[in-house]
Structure 1
Amino acid sequence: MHQIISKEFQFAQLLRFAFPSIVMMVFLSLYTIVDGFFVSRFVGTDALSSVNITYPFTSISIALGVMFATGGSAVTAIRMGEKKMEEANHAFSLIVFFCFILSVAIAVPALLWMEPLVKALGAEGELVPLGVEYLTVLVWLSPISILQILFQNFFVTAGKPMIGLSLTIAAGFANMILDYVFLGIVGMGIKGAAYATAIGYCIPAAGGIFFFIKNRTGLCFVKPKWNKMVLAQSSLNGSSEMVTNLSISVTTFLFNVLTMRYFGADGVAAITVILYCQFLMTSLFMGFSMGVAPVISYHYGAVNTTYLKHLKKMCWNFIAVSSLLVFAVSLTFTEGIAALFSESSVGVYVLICRGMRIFSFSFLFAGVNIFASAMFTAISDGKTSAIISFSRTFLFIILGFIVMIQLFHVDGIWLAIPFAEFITALFVLWLLHRKKQDLKTENV
């Protein structure tokens, strides 16, 4: 059966194929920012801080979903490239079923010990009840959240990225409208923001279930068959993405602790906005990598050596140009973004502007690191991908905190991420040089 991802795309065609994934990731980040806007404007910056404080736990579910989505997508696409469609369907169905059950197993104990969990995440005083309200709703619907993460990737693997994009846009608009209704009109407080987000999750989850049940001409649901090798390969291939999300949760926790120590609640609110912007600015790289990964996997499985080399060159050229563009946009719109969340006369606004200007330099290097990690995941080299992700999102950030704060004091907090991205980019270049002969052997 002819698959869309089997095409030998030229650059314009490749960009057109990846475009829905790019728009989807940008849109996801935008409605995350809109969430923060409504929370800060209608509930207050303390509520915005509590949202960020609870993030390290919600990122656990996200990490598992992303791990199996990216790793499982690679496993499935490689089987499709090998013309083993039945095996691809069984792998896909098992991954979705397993992830749903796993998310339920994580949610139950969290709901039983919610307040101690929120306190352990660093919430104090007024932030504790706000955090409990917000996190309880999201944990209840975390299995739905995992499904929508899985389907975002598997729509691309199925050659239907526009369906995933349409569902994501619908979910985003629903979230934005419900944010306004629940917070601005009904006055539900932070719980309203959680309900708006959770209801938004339901749209791509339900759409994905319907599509993969009805789709009988390509990737679809079949009765799951237990296959520990599929789960092991998926988790190994996607381990870098899991490492990324878990590391982000740890570093977010550290950012919260450090900004609380130096700036108080205003600092936590400021780093929340800056991390929102990081998600927005890097969403271009993440979306592009997500969009092209199944194409890389398919041609890797088909052993199409010549085209893989051309594909890799096109991707690196795109990353180089887009990195400069994202850096310029970030610097240009710093004040405008800060103004969305805070009045210009208050401390939070000043902290956002100062931090964002320094933070922007990270975008010059982030694209290289994100795509390199995704590329190795796509060819089932999960170990190398995980090393890159761990270095970028944890090891070098911790080193950045230690070195930059010593050298630049409070500005070192904002410099930690640019430092980590720069050092990781150097590491990636060294790693690619070292693996050059291996990459030729592996047809990349």
Structure 2
Amino acid sequence: MLRFTLPSVVMNIFASLYIIVDGFFVANFVGTAEFAAVNLIMPAMNIPGTIGYMFGVGGSALIARLSGEGDQDKANSLFSLLVLVSSCLGVLMLVPGFIFMRPLTALLGAQGQLLENSVLYGRIFILALPAWILLYEFQLFFVAAERPELGLAVTLCAGFCNIALDALFIIVFKWGLAGAAAASAISQLTGGLFPIIYFGRKNNSLLRLTKPVWDGIAILKALGNGSSEFMSEVSYSVVGIIYNLQLLKYAGENGVAIYGVLMYVSLIFSAIFVGYSNGIGPVFSYHYGAQDHGELKNLRKRSLVIIGITSVAMCILSEAL
């Protein structure tokens, strides 16, 4: 079980580092005002990105079930269709997102230089939106393909790429906020496009990109399965937006910056549980498709124990720190 869940946990932690790393370099080498801009725009940027999470969670459950039933051709067809549809959605959202970035940011409460900084970061960041959606999505599909360790490797490479480019663009080239956004965009391209190359060729996983066959019912089922996780992520972003609006009103840019630091800590803690859920979900689906009800009960029991112990341990750790 840990073969699937542990890589997924680490993947989610490193996925959170995209935001945290940018924040670290911007706060320490650019300025507090620019750091506030990153924290202001990121909750809104996260909403379209989590569409990939919805496709990944919902789609991986269906794909793993089909694999468990032994219908691998249909699993590959559905996998390919989900990747295609989510990629097209990313492209469709990119253009209006880029064009309307300024009015969107103004709605978030930004004015003056904070508005300019937020628009600058957001417009560069959103250029990689299709790849960001795929990055979210493939985190789940690697588990369904029984290659969670490869998904971890891709996420680690993308994360280290982000760190290296942040250092290069911000410290060496002095590109400031634009450099931070460019570093994140390039790292997302790395993490989102490499899996397409891997799955597009003959590989040693369960899944492979093939010519998709349209299946609207399967798309709706995948979206339905992943809708709860999508809404959870959206609600988290909406709460962040509301907090930022109030903080701008009563505490200014410094309040947004301080809240951003707290959110970074929260991201790490929540990533552990989200990662476990992402890793174990396709395993449940596979055994459900194989009608292995005994193993399903065993997985549920062990998962409850692991989550309970981890929750208590993290609560104690947070109080100690």
TM-score (norm 2): 0.96
Match for 1:227 among 215, 240, 245? Answer: 215
Aligned residue type for 1:126: Q
Contact map agreement 1:281 1:330 (CA 8 A) in 2: no
Please give the residue correspondences for 1:293-332 in structure 2 after superposition, counting only pairs within 5 Å: 293-332=281-320
User: Higher relative CO (CA 8 A, sep ≥ 6), structure 1 or 2?
Assistant: 2
Please give the residue correspondences for 1:9-408 in structure 2 after superposition, counting only pairs within 5 Å: 14-215=1-202, 218-333=206-321
Contact map agreement 2:64 2:282 (CA 8 A) in 1: yes
Contact map agreement 1:144 1:205 (CA 8 A) in 2: yes
Superposed displacement of residue 49, structure 1: 1.4
Superposed displacement of residue 247, structure 1: 1.2
CA distance, structure 2, for counterparts of residue 134 and residue 116 of structure 1: 14
Superposed displacement of residue 259, structure 1: 2.0
CA distance, structure 2, for counterparts of residue 122 and residue 134 of structure 1: 16
Q: Figure out how many residues of one structure are paired with residues of the other and give that number.
A: 320
Q: Secondary structure at the match of 2:112?
A: coil
TM-score (norm 1): 0.70
Aligned residue type for 2:271: S
CA distance, structure 2, for counterparts of residue 325 and residue 215 of structure 1: 43
Aligned residue type for 1:149: Y
Task: Name the Cα RMSD after superposition.
Answer: 1.4
Aligned residue type for 1:102: L
Superposed displacement of residue 184, structure 1: 1.3
Contact map agreement 2:105 2:119 (CA 8 A) in 1: yes
Q: For residues 113 and 27 of structure 1, do their structure 2 counterparts lie closer, same or farther at Cα, with a shift above 3 Å needed?
A: closer
Aligned residue type for 2:258: A
CA distance, structure 2, for counterparts of residue 326 and residue 134 of structure 1: 33
Q: For residues 306 and 154 of structure 1, do their structure 2 counterparts lie closer, same or farther at Cα, with a shift above 3 Å needed?
A: same
Aligned residue type for 1:162: E
The alignment-based identity, stated in percent, is: 39
CA distance, structure 1, for counterparts of residue 144 and residue 64 of structure 2: 6
Contact map agreement 1:164 1:204 (CA 8 A) in 2: no
Superposed displacement of residue 189, structure 1: 1.1
Task: Answer with 1 or 2: which has the greater Rg.
Answer: 1
CA distance, structure 1, for counterparts of residue 132 and residue 13 of structure 2: 18
CA distance, structure 1, for counterparts of residue 306 and residue 69 of structure 2: 28
**Deviation string, structure 1 residues 384-414 (Cα, Å, up to 9, x no partner):** xxxxxxxxxxxxxxxxxxxxxxxxxxxxxxx
Structure 2 residue aligned with 1:431: none
Contact map agreement 1:62 1:245 (CA 8 A) in 2: no
Contact map agreement 1:21 1:291 (CA 8 A) in 2: yes
Q: For residues 332 and 161 of structure 1, do their structure 2 counterparts lie closer, same or farther at Cα, with a shift above 3 Å needed?
A: same
CA distance, structure 2, for counterparts of residue 303 and residue 16 of structure 1: 21
CA distance, structure 2, for counterparts of residue 74 and residue 329 of structure 1: 33
Contact map agreement 1:19 1:291 (CA 8 A) in 2: yes
Superposed displacement of residue 332, structure 1: 3.5
**Deviation string, structure 1 residues 353-407 (Cα, Å, up to 9, x no partner):** xxxxxxxxxxxxxxxxxxxxxxxxxxxxxxxxxxxxxxxxxxxxxxxxxxxxxxx
Superposed displacement of residue 216, structure 1: 5.1
Aligned residue type for 1:321: I
Superposed displacement of residue 128, structure 1: 0.7
Q: For residues 242 and 31 of structure 1, do their structure 2 counterparts lie closer, same or farther at Cα, with a shift above 3 Å needed?
A: closer
Aligned residue type for 1:227: D
**Deviation string, structure 1 residues 89-123 (Cα, Å, up to 9, x no partner):** 11100000001111111111122222112111221
Contact map agreement 1:21 1:288 (CA 8 A) in 2: yes
Q: Secondary structure at the match of 1:238?
A: helix
Structure 2 residue aligned with 1:358: none
Superposed displacement of residue 15, structure 1: 1.9
Q: Secondary structure at the match of 2:213?
A: coil
**Deviation string, structure 1 residues 14-64 (Cα, Å, up to 9, x no partner):** 123311111111222245322211111112122121112212331222221
Q: Runs of 4+ in structure 1 displaced over 4 angstroms?
A: none
The answer to which of 304-313 and 321-330 deviates more is 321-330
Q: Which runs of 5+ in 1 are unaligned?
A: 1-13, 334-444
Superposed displacement of residue 185, structure 1: 1.5
Superposed displacement of residue 223, structure 1: 0.6
Aligned residue type for 1:43: V
Aligned residue type for 1:48: F
Q: Secondary structure at the match of 1:222?
A: coil
CA distance, structure 1, for counterparts of residue 35 and residue 265 of structure 2: 14
CA distance, structure 2, for counterparts of residue 31 and residue 104 of structure 1: 21
